[in-house]
Amino acid sequence: MNLSTNTTAIQAGARAACWLGVLLTGVPAGTTETALTPQWEPVAPGVWKATIGSPEDLTLLNAAGQAPRREALAGMPAATFPLAETEIEARLQARRTALRFPLALDEDIYGLGVDFGTLRRTGSVFQLHVDHWSGRPGRTHAPVPLYLSTHGYGVLVDSARYLDVHVGLGVRLAAQDKPPVIDRTTGGRLWSSRPRSDSVEIAVPAAGAVVYVFAGPTPLDAVRRYNLFCGGGALPPKWGLGFLTRTPIAYTAQQALAEVDAFRQRGIPLDMLGLEPGWQDQAYPCSFEWDKSRFPDPAGFLAELEQRHVRANLWFNPYVAPTAPLYGRLLPFAGSHLVWNGIVPDYSLAEPRRVFADHVRKTIVGLNPVAVGGFKVDEVDGGDQWMWPDHAAFPSGHDGEQLRQTYGLFLQRTLMEVFRGLNRRTLGQVRGTNAGASPFPFVLYNDNYNFDEFITAVANTSFAGVLWSPEVRAGTGEDMLRRVQAVCFSPLALFNGWATDTKLWTHAEVAGQIRDVIMLRQRLLPYWYTTFAQYHYQGTPVIRAMPLIPGFKAPAASAEAGSLDATVNPYAIGKVVEVKDQYLVGDVLLVAPIAPGVASRKVTLPAGRWYDFYTGQLAGGNETIEVTPPLTQIPLFVKEGGLIPLTDERQWAPGRDEAVPLEIRHYGESAGELSLYDDDGETFDYERGEFSWTKLQVAKDASGAWHGQVTPEKDVRPWRYTTVMWRFMTTPAPPH
Amino acid sequence: MNLSTNTTAIQAGARAACWLGVLLTGVPAGTTETALTPQWEPVAPGVWKATIGSPEDLTLLNAAGQAPRREALAGMPAATFPLAETEIEARLQARRTALRFPLALDEDIYGLGVDFGTLRRTGSVFQLHVDHWSGRPGRTHAPVPLYLSTHGYGVLVDSARYLDVHVGLGVRLAAQDKPPVIDRTTGGRLWSSRPRSDSVEIAVPAAGAVVYVFAGPTPLDAVRRYNLFCGGGALPPKWGLGFLTRTPIAYTAQQALAEVDAFRQRGIPLDMLGLEPGWQDQAYPCSFEWDKSRFPDPAGFLAELEQRHVRANLWFNPYVAPTAPLYGRLLPFAGSHLVWNGIVPDYSLAEPRRVFADHVRKTIVGLNPVAVGGFKVDEVDGGDQWMWPDHAAFPSGHDGEQLRQTYGLFLQRTLMEVFRGLNRRTLGQVRGTNAGASPFPFVLYNDNYNFDEFITAVANTSFAGVLWSPEVRAGTGEDMLRRVQAVCFSPLALFNGWATDTKLWTHAEVAGQIRDVIMLRQRLLPYWYTTFAQYHYQGTPVIRAMPLIPGFKAPAASAEAGSLDATVNPYAIGKVVEVKDQYLVGDVLLVAPIAPGVASRKVTLPAGRWYDFYTGQLAGGNETIEVTPPLTQIPLFVKEGGLIPLTDERQWAPGRDEAVPLEIRHYGESAGELSLYDDDGETFDYERGEFSWTKLQVAKDASGAWHGQVTPEKDVRPWRYTTVMWRFMTTPAPPH
């Protein structure tokens, strides 16, 4: 706390003078801040770290606790430090550490958490704060303090505090090139309520901060380095890429099994069954014990699920009820405040994490490690009305603010370690996370139900090393169909029936179409699985927002000037036009969800040529087109030369020793290539080398006919496909 | 900063042990916080102060810089400390000071800043932060950290920081009576997403805090003590209670004078003319110099205004343009960041305040101290997009957060001192303020245009020692009429035409009715002036929200249970039912504004009998009635026995030596009494005793006929009325 005695706070080369004193003469020497130029040390190829002042022990990456994928990082291009070091400044103040990074006039910033309203962050001010999204920028389920620049680098402020962020706003008196001074009365549209600054400024309310810089050369490369530095992206089990349905809150074992049977009878694929609070005998706060009236024989129930090739996903929130057997063991680690009258264990300490993991392993997962697939970790985000206050005290010495920023991280880490210990992969849901979470196989969700915001959030995950899925809960037939289409092209395909009588088949007029899109999702498993493998091994995000796509030059990021209006727009604020309602899944598949109630939409295609997924016909390239798809279709486009691998129609994901037929679709006029990933799909054996990348190639022969070729890696490892069928979508093979 | 060496932080009697350590055994001793029981010292009758830890030098009351009205406080009833001292706890943490005050289950909390959504604060969590209101609780133009309890006391946390406030939420593990643990699956409506806590908790992000407690016995008494402790309420000049119109931004002197003439020709009262940015030659940022193209002869223009009995009110924002003559003198005191490319002088220092005051006095007010009535101090609130960041550095050593919380206070104080130095009262507008502002004759405003929120804000000012006025800017005829009616029964009656061609007479069908309500406002000057005198001398708020009214037992503050809905209300949150759309002005006048587009409304009448202002007929008492007023009338009710003094019809407020006729209306069946205040209405001579309270009494004589009586104070001081006419509204005098 006492900066003046902490000599490590002043790095070598620091300008230890009063910052204002340097700038201005005659200023009263009241200010006690110290300005310094951070010193950067390389910590991995293309990754640099600066330790500024006296950072707190608990950082986000420490909370996540995962090791960098150094080999993969070493395989990336060499890079030099991407910023002008002397342009980066840290000021150690009494209440905070203020960081300043340069921002060029032609530079735009993305990232800084999974926002639901916008992708582009240039020209905005907000506080990064784990919370339920409710329209306040910065308050989100994943306020990851990582930003990506269109100039091709990334910056992570690794602090478990609420960070105040100014992106291109807040012109400094010391700035070299200040915006012009305009008289508002006569300046008209020359005057701006938000003059552009030359900085990204981030305030850390602590006596120091740890900062990382990630080189490019492209923003996508910078994200890749970030994900690899965090340990690589999550690799879910194959069944985790199937379909999940959640049952109503008070369903019994019988009702839950009947729900599975209803899916099977209707031919709707199903891999995961979500049990909501009612599986426990006390929830909000939780007992972490099966409710014996609704689930009299949990092991028997799980065996039934296993027989049906379905994994249970068990809901909980982490607040421990006084009646829980765990209570006594966790009470010594409880924070000063309760949530829904349950204690809040201090999971920043290893011992309560061990206590909780033991309980989960022994009494829940241990009942049937095949059938218990994972957990839904609820209520680790907000809102402030029910969470512990920031001033809550915890036995570790961390305060409520630090725990709020990291609670989801600690729970994901704890649960992943439980499953790793059993050598079984998991796929779960979590409602709050933060930086360092890339390796965690947990998908974010929330209670928001705004379709457009859902899609923007999915796109924003690509800048944050996290996964997010919209929800389908209820609605009219068309509403549900459009939402199911969207979730099927998000990281987790699910229906959440926890508080409704509505089923996927309630609306007969769309039931078949709902089944069809879930089946398409199921068939696309090889494409999704390879895309996740790219995330894991190469750090490349599963979802890729348009600004990450090379050659994407769209109407993005241009600000419309606003019109002055005395009652509704007194500051004449314009709105930002950007393409935030479409994204790529993997390398070649462009997804442009259609909102309920909407008949047509614009799609902005990047450079090159793009083809309709369903017909193979040319859709366009480097242009914005209008599409009016049938109700049965979510607009999908494939890049020139793209290969899309599919399985046959299946009700659940292939098991670990199951081989299935493969269909490979080729789009466009050019040759194409895909490295298809495979492993056993269920265990961590891939970490011991049990995986394969198989080269799929399509090219024309001398006669102009298309041919496909499968080239296994030299050392043939897991490859679980039987037959291969090639389909040339744009140029069908002539009949023989 | 170093708590451990600051022995003054630990008060006598403090429990200097680790708080969690006291509570729980076996807790790792990681937490470094210190818990203590604050010690309270009486600082005025019924006012106690505690200094906890090491508070910062800059507090809100220090920023306001006004002296308590000790004599008036001494005249209030003696009182004992209203809380259980041992139930108040302070915990000194590394990043903040956490305060806990007891809250009984049957206790409700009001205040904590001028919120626009709700009056009652029990069951809410928010951060007090000077900002433009945009729907975020706590972010408001007046985040005054004062709360009032229905148990009859008040608490002020006198800190210039953003304060996190939990009112009745955040149950502590250490709490004696915790809410019951309910299983959400089976508990139905017994389960609550927001279990009630036994505390008000306020976190101050500093190493200490200054706290005041104000005794009752009623909440109104506690507000009175607060206002008196701050220096007593503002006493505006009489002309400040007339009507203000603001001209379009680029109006010339000629156009402005023509606007005044248009009011006079139409017989619409006018006392103040607001000039918007265009009176300066550079605005946003500002030059503080007249624009010579639009105002070639400022002194001549002001003389013309004086001749017309109109005061100029001059807009500015405090950010200084590089072209301003003031710039060079203020640059040494500039903060590290600009606002609209203007410097932000550090007005927490006396020297730049003196520089600014000199300029204002010499070059603006000094041109004509009669005609320059005051200023509109804009843009001292927010939003974050254009204000300096919290980490901005200022020469005083204060940071951006502290300046944000106090900037409006410093400017009000500076301007009031300019006018006081000239012995002329002022009435201005300001867009951001805080605790300690009671004596400042400035009325808050903003760009929000939601009618219902306007009215709730006016009501909430009664808990905050500030004044607030809705705005009328444009709209249809009915919309404008309803809004004019509302502003005429708010502290400042104004039309703001800064960005519109619309005038008050644009809609011919309502022009006469708009004139009539402004005339009614003008005629009610004696009532308003006495009400402001009560604010000044007795601390009693001008506006009184219903919870402050003795005998008000309404459907207030009961929470409706919410209904679970999967897509729109997953936490089954109820809404609070309270009466936030009506209030009293002064002792006896109940105002129930009608929103545009609404034909009827409910009015909740307190205990006793209440009479229609217009007809004198009994409206009811201790009940909720439905009223359907004509378009010409804003619903107004007068308490049993109430006296309402009015002048004749006038185009502007009486001058200092002008005597006018008085009409006194009596309502109801009971005798009534009013102490009518008067002074010269323009200067500070009242501070030297130049004022009078005159007793007006109405009673029945032996024959049952009503009689009115005027009893001057023994030592007759200013009394500027000629004739007195009595009107018995409910029981007219029988014809003689």
Q: Nearest-CA distance from A397 to chain B in Å? A: 4
Residue A644, token pair as written in the block: 């899309």
CA A412 to chain centre: 14
The reply to whether B705 touches chain A by the CB within 8 Å rule is no
pLDDT above 50: residue A299: yes
| Stretch A437-454: mean pLDDT | 96
Q: What is the pLDDT of residues A607-660, one digit of tens each?
A: 999 999 999 999 999 999 999 999 999 999 999 999 999 999 999 999 988 999
Q: What integer pLDDT is reported at residue B712 of this predicted model? A: 87
The reply to whether A391 touches chain B by the CB within 8 Å rule is yes
Chain A residues with CB-CB distance to B1 below 8 A: 1-3, 94
ipTM value for the complex: 0.93
The reply to whether B322 touches chain A by the CB within 8 Å rule is yes
Share of chain B above pLDDT 90, in %: 88
Q: How confident is the model at residue A553 (pLDDT cuts 50, 70, 90)?
A: confident
Q: List the single residue in A with minimal CA-CA distance to B21.
A: A395
Q: What is the pLDDT of residues B140-166, one digit of tens each?
A: 999 999 999 999 999 999 999 999 999
Q: How confident is the model at residue A555 (pLDDT cuts 50, 70, 90)?
A: low
Q: List the single residue in A with minimal CA-CA distance to B276.
A: A185
Determine which helix (DSSP H) or strand (DSSP E) holds B89, and give its type and residue range. strand B89-92
Task: Judge: A173–B205 Cβ closer than 8 Å, yes or no.
Answer: no
Q: List the single residue in B with minimal CA-CA distance to A387.
A: B170
pLDDT above 60: residue B612: yes
Q: What integer pLDDT is reported at residue B557 of this predicted model? A: 43
Q: What is the pLDDT of residues A425-442, one digit of tens each?
A: 999 999 999 999 999 999
Chain A residues with CB-CB distance to B131 below 8 A: none
Q: How confident is the model at residue B561 (pLDDT cuts 50, 70, 90)?
A: low
The reply to whether A28 touches chain B by the CB within 8 Å rule is yes
Q: List the single residue in A with minimal CA-CA distance to B566.
A: A499
| Stretch B167-183: mean pLDDT | 95
Task: Judge: B341–A179 Cβ closer than 8 Å, yes or no.
Answer: yes
Q: What is the pLDDT of residues B74-122, one digit of tens each?
A: 999 999 999 999 999 999 999 999 999 999 999 999 999 999 999 999 9
Q: What integer pLDDT is reported at residue A570 of this predicted model? A: 80
Task: Judge: A195–B498 Cβ closer than 8 Å, yes or no.
Answer: no
Q: List the single residue in A with minimal CA-CA distance to B471.
A: A567
Contacts of A410 (CB under 8 A, 6+ apart): A63, A347, A348, A353
Q: Nearest-CA distance from A248 to chain B in Å? A: 10
Identity of the residue in B1, B249, B447 whose CB atom sits nearest the CB atom of A185: B249
Tell me which residue has tokens 């003696």.
B78
| Stretch A360-380: mean pLDDT | 97
| Stretch A592-596: mean pLDDT | 97
pTM: 0.94
Q: What integer pLDDT is reported at residue B679 of this predicted model? A: 95
Q: Nearest-CA distance from B31 to chain A in Å? A: 4
Identity of the residue in A93, A383, A496 whose CB atom sits nearest the CB atom of B391: A93
- Residue window 137-176, chain B: list those with CB within 8 Å of chain A: 164, 166, 169-174
Amino acid (1-letter code) at residue B620:
G
Q: What are phi and psi of B315, to 5 degrees?
A: -75, 140
Give the DSSP per-residue string, B238-301. Answer: GGGGSEEEE--TT--HHHHHHHHHHHHHHT----EEEE-GGGBSSTTTB--SB-TTT-S-HHHH
Chain A residues with CB-CB distance to B17 below 8 A: none
Q: What integer pLDDT is reported at residue B574 of this predicted model? A: 72
- Residue window 69-108, chain B: list those with CB within 8 Å of chain A: 91, 93-96, 98
Q: List the single residue in A with minimal CA-CA distance to B166.
A: A389
Do B496 and B277 form a contact (C-beta atoms < 8 A)? no
Task: Judge: B91–A393 Cβ closer than 8 Å, yes or no.
Answer: yes
Contacts of A235 (CB under 8 A, 6+ apart): A425, A441, A532, A533, A535, A536, A686
Do B361 and B424 form a contact (C-beta atoms < 8 A)? no
Q: What is the pLDDT of residues B201-214, one digit of tens each?
A: 999 999 999 999 99
Q: What is the pLDDT of residues A150-201, one digit of tens each?
A: 999 999 999 999 999 999 999 999 999 899 999 999 998 899 999 999 999 9
Q: What is the pLDDT of residues B238-251, one digit of tens each?
A: 999 999 999 999 99
Task: Judge: B181–A396 Cβ closer than 8 Å, yes or no.
Answer: no
H-helix segments, B55-100: 60-64, 70-74
| Stretch A348-375: mean pLDDT | 98
Among B472, B476, B479, B475, residue whose Cα is nearest residue B521: B472
Contacts of A642 (CB under 8 A, 6+ apart): A587, A588, A589, A611, A666, A667, A668, A672
Task: Judge: B391–A201 Cβ closer than 8 Å, yes or no.
Answer: yes
The residue of B329, B376, B567, B573 whose CB has the most chain A CBs within 10 angstroms, and thus the best one to mutate to test that interface, is B567
Share of chain B above pLDDT 70, in %: 93
pLDDT above 60: residue B516: yes
The residue of B181, B199, B282, B319 whose CB has the most chain A CBs within 10 angstroms, and thus the best one to mutate to test that interface, is B181
Q: What integer pLDDT is reported at residue B735 of this predicted model? A: 55
Q: What integer pLDDT is reported at residue B28 of this predicted model? A: 39
Higher pLDDT, A534 or B19: A534
Share of chain A above pLDDT 90, in %: 88
Q: Nearest-CA distance from B731 to chain A in Å? A: 45
Task: Judge: B499–A174 Cβ closer than 8 Å, yes or no.
Answer: no
b/e map of A1-20 (b: 16 or more CB within 10 Å)? eebeeeeebebeebeeebbb
The three-class DSSP label of residue A578 is: coil
Q: List the single residue in A with minimal CA-CA distance to B3.
A: A1
Task: Judge: B332–A27 Cβ closer than 8 Å, yes or no.
Answer: yes
Tell me the average pLDDT of chain B. Answer: 92
Q: List the single residue in A with minimal CA-CA distance to B5.
A: A2
Identity of the residue in A1, A178, A277 whose CB atom sits nearest the CB atom of B185: A277
H-helix segments, A267-387: 298-307, 327-330, 350-359
Identity of the residue in B30, B195, B389 whose CB atom sits nearest the CB atom of A201: B389
Q: Nearest-CA distance from A680 to chain B in Å? A: 37
Task: Judge: A249–B185 Cβ closer than 8 Å, yes or no.
Answer: yes
Q: How confident is the model at residue A732 (pLDDT cuts 50, 70, 90)?
A: confident
- Residue window 455-474, chain A: list those with CB within 8 Å of chain B: 473-474
Q: How confident is the model at residue A141 (pLDDT cuts 50, 70, 90)?
A: very high
The reply to whether B196 touches chain A by the CB within 8 Å rule is no
Strands (E), A398-519: 428-430, 442-444, 467-468, 493-496
Task: Judge: A396–B30 Cβ closer than 8 Å, yes or no.
Answer: yes
Do A251 and A294 form a contact (C-beta atoms < 8 A)? yes
Identity of the residue in B203, B336, B340 whose CB atom sits nearest the CB atom of A389: B203
- Residue window 407-446, chain B: list those with CB within 8 Å of chain A: none
Strand order of the β-sheet with B691-700 is B672-679, B691-700, B706-711
Q: How confident is the model at residue B570 (pLDDT cuts 50, 70, 90)?
A: confident
Task: Judge: B170–A388 Cβ closer than 8 Å, yes or no.
Answer: yes
Q: What is the pLDDT of residues B306-331, one digit of tens each?
A: 999 999 999 999 999 999 999 999 99
The residue of B32, B92, B173 whose CB has the most chain A CBs within 10 angstroms, and thus the best one to mutate to test that interface, is B173
- Residue window 640-669, chain B: list those with CB within 8 Å of chain A: none
Chain B residues with CB-CB distance to A506 below 8 A: none
Q: List the single residue in A with minimal CA-CA distance to B194.
A: A386
Q: How confident is the model at residue A560 (pLDDT cuts 50, 70, 90)?
A: low
The reply to whether A285 touches chain B by the CB within 8 Å rule is yes
Question: Which contacts (CB < 8 Å, 24+ apart) does range B505-514 have?
Answer: B505/B262, B505/B266, B505/B268, B506/B480, B507/B476, B507/B477, B507/B480, B509/B477, B510/B477, B510/B478, B510/B480, B510/B481, B510/B631, B511/B266, B513/B481, B513/B631, B513/B632, B514/B268, B514/B480, B514/B481, B514/B484
Q: List the single residue in B with minimal CA-CA distance to A22.
A: B336
Higher pLDDT, A29 or B356: B356
- Residue window 478-537, chain A: list those with CB within 8 Å of chain B: 496, 498-500
Residue A149 pairs with which residues in a beta bridge?
A109, A153
Q: What is the pLDDT of residues B26-36, one digit of tens each?
A: 333 455 789 99
Q: What integer pLDDT is reported at residue B571 of this predicted model? A: 77
The reply to whether A341 touches chain B by the CB within 8 Å rule is yes
Identity of the residue in B93, B323, B397 whose CB atom sits nearest the CB atom of A391: B93
Q: What integer pLDDT is reported at residue B634 of this predicted model? A: 98
Q: What integer pLDDT is reported at residue A512 of this predicted model? A: 97
The reply to whether A719 touches chain B by the CB within 8 Å rule is no
